[in-house]
Structure 1
Amino acid sequence: MRSRIAYLERERDFIKDLYSDMPQMLRMISKGALLSSLLNSFKNRLQAQLPNAYCLFIVCDKECSQWHLQYVDSINESLLSPNGRLVTVPQALITFAATPSCPKRHDMNIPNLLEWKHWQVFFERHGFSDVSMVSVSDGQGSIYLMLAFQREDTLLEGELMGLALDSYASWLDSVFEREKADYLLLEGSHRDPSTGLLRRFSFDNSFNIVLKDSRRHFQRAALFSLRLLSTSTIDEGELKVWAGIMQDTVRDNDLLAHYDERELVMGIRIQHLEDAEIVATKLLKTLSDSSLSSNRLIRAGVSIGIAFYPEHSSLESLHQAASFAANSLHNLPGYRLEFHGAYYESSSDFYSL
């Protein structure tokens, strides 16, 4: 009974100490503190919680091919090569990192285990007999591992060590969830949920950067106004299909935005005027595919107006010119090029007499 009471008292004190500064940690996470600062705080907190253990912090990629120590000290530096990389990684550690379904593990008598043979000298030098491990994925391709090495004469009860590992994993999970939420909020503020394309203000900011770069490097750019000819009520599902086809057709570095209910706007860098025609022809060809005939918006067609920089020096004038060019088609599918106030079917006509 006395031993049981003594254990429960130790457990109480351990848990009380473990969660004593939890409000402070949650406040740091909620404020969006830097990842490096948070990880350093977690490391210091965990090492203080486990004074008789030595904590080793490692990051590896999801393929378990690249391994790095997060913190180097006088104890773990013997595991590193002169260029700062882990000389060898025990098979036990590789297996553990590659098994996310088992985020915790405890190995006993590690100096004599074949799976840990690469670090036997390290264990014997510091008298380590046991290791408890926890792994957390950041969801971006990296796995964060914490290893708590213990000596046989100062082993912590398994339940208490488990609590410490769970707490560390929860802290990291909270940080990664916060980062993911920040990213989603940022994406949500920049993209229209009905199409997945850029919102107008995000497109304007991005394309103005393109224009600044074009001025600096004497480059060309083109702005497309793509107008739906359908007059029926917009079906969001059909609109999303149309937007998806546009995204799949254009290049990765092209900008594509949902400006209003029946207009998409696209901005691209070009080298020659005819490059814009090639893009317009490609878009119209894709939309004419028979497999898309069931989509009413696509079936009704799209008129495309194109304007050029430096012929127009601002986004506002480019958009106005592209819109006028699209309207000059009089609700017929196809494209028109605006050049110095006139509308053309081909750039080859720009300089004809």
Structure 2
Amino acid sequence: MPQMLQLLAKGALLSTLLNCSKHKLQSQLPNAYCLFIVCDKECLQWRLQYTDSINDRLLNVNGQLISIPQALITFAASPSCPKRHDVDIQTVSSWKHWQPFLQDHGFTDVSMVSVSDDQGSIYLMLAFQREKNRLEDELMMLALDAYEAWLCAIFEREKADHLLLEDSHRDPSTGLLRRYSFENSFGIVLKDSRRHFQRAALLSILLHSSSKVNDAELKALADVMSDTVRDNDLIAHYDEHELVMGIRIQHLEDAEVVAAKLLKSLSCPEFSKNRLVRGGLSIGIAFYPEHSSLESLYQAASFAAHSLKNITGYRLEFHGECYESSAGFYTL
């Protein structure tokens, strides 16, 4: 256990932690054969974690499990009962699919434990025993308890690492990117745009409300913004009263379509009690390659947003001037 805790504390790779727990269990059960299986929560996809000269009988030429005993499917589908002992398995119909495997190796009993990783996978360990070397149930239960505790700790560590990573990149109150993460990600968008001669737009969204921002109301606004753009577009919470959006576009008018769609969505009756939305917002839009860096894009978009002087709507910055529509860019 100290070795496992040390590995967990150091944040070892998932595969390293799982391998360590496997070796620990096998050292505790020298007279049992341990089989490690992973399946999805629907119990439709099954695979062996580790293959060897004993369990290869269970696999087809493509390395997939040929069949799954009904007893194992029932067990995996019952998370409320994470441990189970089956005896006389060579004669039980629910294990009939593995009869050749069981008889060839003389396995008469199996003890099982299941642990969910809370990411859609179930990790199963099956300890097969022979009658002459069978452990007392209490001792086997201790081994299953230890294995379950190890895997729960491993998955808890994985979950904590994921949350810490997400929290470092996203504002937990809105789910939107933090400023530095947005800048890093949008920098990649600009590099791609240069490489492939594509367009991009940056939108600065200023919230008119001067009161302290309510997290629930801001989250509602963030959700609408997320629904307005595509999955690979970027949205960030820049400051308490400012949000930004970075979007890939093909034509200049695409950006104002997004801005108009956002304003229309926020005018729906469901936002009538949202003080943040009711206070109004101004949207400024700037374009790449008219501005070649994030800093110049942001300054131009912010300039366009402030030009509205706290009036709800949007303005487009183009070569130092602000316009109500892209249609005005080329008029004399």
Residue in 2 that maps onto 1:189: 168
The one-letter code matched in structure 2 to 1:75 is: I
Give me the whole-angstrom Cα distance separating, in 2, the residues matched to 1:54 and 1:265: 57
Larger deviation, residues 36-45 vs 90-99: 36-45
Q: CA deviation at 1:227?
A: 0.6
Secondary structure of 1:265's counterpart equals strand
Matched residues in 1 for 2:298 and 2:142: separation?
60
2:218 corresponds to 1:239: yes
Aligned mates of 1:194, 1:205 — CA distance in 2: 21
Q: Which whole-Å CA distance do the structure 2 matches of 1:201 and 1:294 have between them?
A: 32
Deviations 1:75-123 (A, max 9, x none): 1111100000010100000010011110000000000000000011111
Distance of 1:63 and 1:275 partners within structure 2: 42
Listed as ranges, the gaps of 5+ residues in structure 1 are 1-21
Matching of residue 343 in structure 1 with residue 322 in structure 2: yes
Indicate which of 228, 237, 240 corresponds to 2:207. 228
Q: Which amino acid is the alignment partner of residue 298 of structure 1?
A: V
Displacement after TM superposition at 1:195 (Å): 2.6
The answer as to 2:253 corresponding to 1:274 is: yes
**Aligned twin of 1:57:** 36
Post-superposition offset of 1:137: 0.7
User: Separation in 2 of the partners of 1:160 and 1:290?
Assistant: 64
Shift of 1:188: 1.0
- Return the alpha-carbon distance in structure 2 between the equivalents of residues 91 and 104 of structure 1: 16
Residue 68 of structure 2 is aligned with which of 81, 89, 107?
A: 89
Q: Which residue of 2 aligns with 1:251?
A: 230
Task: Provide the residue aligned with 2:7 in structure 1.
Answer: 28
Alignment of 1:1-353 (within 5 A): 22-353=1-332
In 1: Cα distance, 2:13 partner to 2:173 partner: 33
Give 1:4's aligned residue: none
Structure 1 residue 55 displacement after superposition: 0.5
User: 1:243-286 deviations in whole A, cap 9, x for unaligned?
Assistant: 22222332221111111111100001111111101100100000
1: CA distance between counterparts of 2:14 and 2:270?
Answer: 47
Q: Which one-letter code corresponds to 2:37 in the other structure?
A: I
Q: Structure 2: which 5+ runs fail to align?
A: none
TM-score, L = length of structure 1? 0.92
Distance change in 2, residues 1:233/1:65 (3 Å)? closer
CA shift for structure 1 position 46: 1.1
1:193 offset after TM fit, Å?
3.0
The one-letter amino acid of 1:198's match is L
Partner of 1:187: helix, strand, or coil? helix
- Computed over aligned residues only, the root mean square deviation of the Cα atoms, in angstroms, reads 1.1
Q: Could you tell me how far apart the structure 1 residues matched to 2:44 and 2:209 are?
A: 53
**Post-superposition shift, 1:241?**
2.2
In structure 1, C-alpha distance between the alignment counterparts of 2:273 and 2:39, rounded to whole Å = 48
In the alignment, the residues of structure 2 paired with residue 52 and residue 280 of structure 1 have an alpha-carbon distance, to the nearest angstrom, of: 68
Structure number with bigger Rg? 1
Structure 1 residue 34, shift from structure 2 partner? 1.1
Superposed displacement of residue 328, structure 1: 1.2
Q: 1:345 to 1:97 in 2, by over 3 A?
A: same
SS in 2 for 1:306: strand
Q: Which moved more, 1:247-256 or 1:77-86?
A: 247-256
